[in-house]
Amino acid sequence: MSSKSAPEAPAGGARPWSLAARLTAWYAASSFALVVFVAFALEAVLESGLDQEDDGLLADEVALVSTLIREGDSEAVRREIESTTLSRTREKLSARVLDAGGRAAMETPGLSRQLAVDGFPPADPDRTVFGDATGSDGTPFRICVARILLPDGSLRVLQVAHDISDDLRTLAEFRERLLLVLAAAFVACTVLGYAIARGGIRRVEAIAEAARRVRPSHLEERIPVEGLPAELAGLAASLNGMLDRLEESFARLSRFSADLAHEIRTPVSRLRGEAEVALGRARSPEEYREVLASCVEECSRLADLIDRLLFLARTEDPRAVVRREAVELGEELAAIQEFYGPSAEESGVRLAVEPHGVVRIPADPALLRRAVGNLVVNALAHTPPGGAVTLSVHPAEADVRVEVRDTGSGIPEEHLPHVLDRFYRVDRARSPSSGGAGLGLAIVQGIAALHGGRVEIESRVGWGTRVGIVLPREMTAS
């Protein structure tokens, strides 16, 4: 079975919700919860307003009847209390006055059938007592009880009841309409949530569609950023940056494959040509020996090329580990000067090391010598007789720059961005046998990257070239 099979479905066979469904659910739930909160708040306000209105109506009645009783106008009190509900169509108030013995002195007709005297709470000497009661036929009432102190020192108790059936009916009708409004609001929240979610997801789908169009043959495809929200614009920009890097990597890989094929084809073709020529007719042992020697030379060059490529592959492996130890740069540069001194003298070039203090860094000495040695070989190859190649160290607070400077021909400006690429040669006419494979600076860059450093190049035609390997002074992860 292939390891690239489709991912297993979640346990139980349940498919996860789509992002649009989740956004719709969250939007609908949150907005509907807000609508429900507002609806219940309105209901509470309406109920509280009706209660306040009822209590105010009862308090006004208590104040009016109390005033009439204190004034001693018994007839006015009787008219007020015995008024029928026909004259109180809106208020539906009933009242009862109790004497000092707790007996009803006067009351609204019919009140005794609905609410008995003991159906009211006891009177409080300091305040008017409010409450709720239910009549004998189930009619709801809002009631209050107040004590009235007369000028002669006697006491009366006033009981007032208000029929609140209309208030409860109003609340019931409000709740019925509220349920209809909530049902409509739920539908509206769901529909609007889906529309908003789809509008947002449509941008994500556009990004996904643009990404699906990317193929090895269409790496120039990019995701439009204009008009996207800030979050999606950042995502699209990141994806475009990734596509830029992929396109550049593919292009470099294509160039590398072509250059590699060319570099390997040249020595293989030379080997084959020499062998075919040798086999074309019988030759003397000396001639066969010359052919074999030439073949061995080409094989050595081919093996060296393969070794360099394998080394570059190891330097670019993220799992590669560098064996670091304390390296004194002065000693290393002196050893390199001693090793390449004879080649420099033979080429008529002065190879020198600038004096500097003791500088130690954590590095792999063998790799460091190889990197600096590659720079020295390049510098000697491009410096005419009478020129100079100088090795120097420039310590800074956080890093150290190991520099190789020559007074050679220099590198044209248009080639500087590419000289660190594999197989890149400034002079394309030079053959691998005479000008190398174009891997020296790429190896230098790989070694610097393994140490957490970088390579910097400065060059001008007629002035020379200055190449610096910048390495950290402290141990860093490679």
Do residues 104 and 163 both lie within one domain?
yes
Do residues 162 and 255 both lie within one domain?
no
Of the CA atoms within 13 Å of residue 228, those in its CB half-sphere come to 19
Total domain count for the chain? 3
Q: What is the pLDDT of residue 86?
A: 41
Query: How far apart are alpha carbons 347 and 360 in whole angstroms?
Result: 32
Question: Does the pLDDT value for residue 13 go beyond 70?
Answer: no
* Residue 197 or 392, more confident: 392
Residue 236 domain-assigned (yes or no)? no
Domain boundary among 262, 282, 314: 314
Residue 464 domain-assigned (yes or no)? yes
Highest mean pLDDT: which range of 152-156, 196-200, 384-388: 384-388
For residue range 336-391, list pLDDT tens digits in order.
999 988 888 998 999 998 877 788 888 888 888 888 988 898 889 889 999 999 99
Do residues 394 and 367 both lie within one domain?
yes
Question: Does the pLDDT value for residue 249 go beyond 80?
Answer: no
Cβ atoms of 43 and 125 within 8 Å: the answer is no
Do residues 264 and 360 both lie within one domain?
no
Question: Does the pLDDT value for residue 31 go beyond 50?
Answer: yes
Question: Does the pLDDT value for residue 52 go beyond 80?
Answer: yes
- Tell me the pLDDT band of 14, cut-offs 50, 70 and 90: low
Domain boundary among 297, 314, 331: 314
For residue range 300-326, list pLDDT tens digits in order.
777 777 776 676 666 665 555 667 888
Calculate mean pLDDT across residues 87-106.
76
Do residues 330 and 299 both lie within one domain?
no
- What CATH number is attached to the domain comprising 185? 3.30.450.20
Do residues 90 and 119 both lie within one domain?
yes
Kindly calculate the radius of gyration of the chain based on its CA atoms and give it in whole angstroms. 50
The residue range of the domain holding 398 is 318-427+436-472
Do residues 167 and 274 both lie within one domain?
no
* Residue 452 or 253, more confident: 452
Residue 76 domain-assigned (yes or no)? yes
Do residues 201 and 252 both lie within one domain?
no
Do residues 300 and 161 both lie within one domain?
no
3-class secondary structure, 409: coil
Calculate mean pLDDT across residues 421-449.
65
Q: What percentage of the chain exceeds 70 in pLDDT?
A: 85
Residue 405 domain-assigned (yes or no)? yes
Residue 223 domain-assigned (yes or no)? no
DSSP string, 87-143: TTTTT-EEEEEE-TTS-EEEE-TTHHHHS-GGGSPPP-SSS-EEEEEE-TTS-EEEE
Question: Does the pLDDT value for residue 432 go beyond 50?
Answer: no
Q: What percentage of the chain exceeds 90 in pLDDT?
A: 12
Residue 374 domain-assigned (yes or no)? yes
Question: Does the pLDDT value for residue 99 go beyond 90?
Answer: no
